[in-house]
Amino acid sequence: MRNLQVVELNGTLEMLNENELYSFKGGLTGGQSDVHDIPEVIIPTPGGDDGGSDDGGYDDGSNPPTWDDDNPPHGGDDDNPFPPDGGGDPGNDDNTSDPEQHNLPQPVPQICTQLGSTGECTMKALDVISKFLGGDAMGIHKDDFAQFVGLNNPGEAAMEFLMNPNGGLSMGELNGLVDEFFTNTDLGGDAASIISHLDNGHPILATILDPATNTGHAVVIIGFNAGTNMVTIANSLAPGGVETIAYNASTMVNQSAISGFQNNATVNQYRNDANDWWIGCGMSASGAVIG
């Protein structure tokens, strides 16, 4: 029978990196030590493979002990002895973060669902960006955007966005509105610029073109994966309001990275008005749809 002496190294082992630990003679698998008077050193490890007996977790001479922080118990699962999470996350010792994924630092507000066959998408997309930048607290709402383009009450807005089969804002109207209300940067479809602005907390307004109908649909880019070329968007027509799709610069156009509100007469005018009528998802202060 071997003469074993367990060396208590808990405090020291916590300070050792992987290479230093393996520099011990015998490392994790036992072996001969150069320490005088100790013929063999066994380093105790949590969850050692000892055939199921509770002997403190160190090797009993059968299989090498392992750092086992998930299933199955007692080793045998090819666990990394030095998991990225330090073994502190039961059931998962893999780093699941994706360095290629770039999202806005904070989550965006829920986008309002768009009624089918309507032209509300620009108002819904602008509303998400406004709320993300603190527009609610400022008193900026969807009715302010509508009034800026000449739709001065719920009836006029409903006729344009809900009743008109070809309703909604033109590209020129949308760009004029964005320039007046927001500080923004035209990205031109460049993926590196999208990533940079998302990392800096700037939501990106974009228009998805439908070549078959020659129409556009306004969305907000909130994430981009450089490895897979997939873009995450707040989309008023998507179930749940968010979806991830393949990025195509030729069909996702008119991109404007929004970094804040303008400090001008127009913004000050609308932030101080007291007759907001399109605060909720519907065209009334209460959120009811006015047809």
Token pair belonging to 216: 């556009």
What is the predicted pLDDT for the residue at 286?
Answer: 61
Which residues, including other chains, have CB under 8 Å from residue 163's CB and lie 6 or more apart?
291
**Region 197-223 average pLDDT:** 95
CA 264 – CA 262 distance, rounded (Å): 6
May I ask the CATH architecture of the domain 102-271?
A: Alpha-Beta Complex (3.90)
**Region 67-96 average pLDDT:** 45
pLDDT in tens, 147-204: 999 999 999 999 999 998 788 999 999 999 999 999 999 999 999 999 999 999 999 9
Q: DSSP letter at 28?
A: G
Task: State how far the alpha carbon of 218 is from the alpha carbons of 81, 106, 132, in Å.
Answer: 49, 21, 16
What is the predicted pLDDT for the residue at 288?
Answer: 62
Instruction: Report whether pLDDT(111) > 60.
Output: yes
Token pair belonging to 43: 């380093």
**Region 84-88 average pLDDT:** 44
287: confidence class by pLDDT, cuts 50, 70, 90: low
What is the predicted pLDDT for the residue at 274?
Answer: 84
Instruction: Report whether pLDDT(223) > 90.
Output: yes
What is the predicted pLDDT for the residue at 90?
Answer: 41
CA 42 – CA 6 distance, rounded (Å): 6
Write down how long the chain is: 291
Instruction: Report whether pLDDT(82) > 50.
Output: no
- Quickly tell me which residue has 């005018």 as its tokens: 269
pLDDT in tens, 88-104: 444 444 434 889 999 99
What is the predicted pLDDT for the residue at 230?
Answer: 97
CA 128 – CA 157 distance, rounded (Å): 18
Q: What average pLDDT does the structure give for the chain?
A: 76
**What pairs with residue 114 in β-bridges?**
none
The pairing of strands 101-103 and 41-42 is unpaired
- Look up the pTM and report it: 0.66
Give the gyration radius of the chain's Cα atoms.
30
pLDDT in tens, 240-275: 999 999 999 999 999 999 999 999 999 999 998 888
All structural domains of the chain with their residue ranges: 1-96, 102-271
Q: Are 161 and 167 in contact (CB under 8 A)?
A: yes
- Quickly tell me which residue has 């998802």 as its tokens: 281
Distance of CA 37 to the CA centre of its chain: 57
Nearest Cα to Cα of residue 262 among 194, 180, 189, 167: 180
Taken in order 219, 220, 222, 228, the sign of the CA dihedral is positive
Token pair belonging to 257: 């990275």
**HSE of 189 in the Cβ direction (CA atoms, 13 Å)?**
10
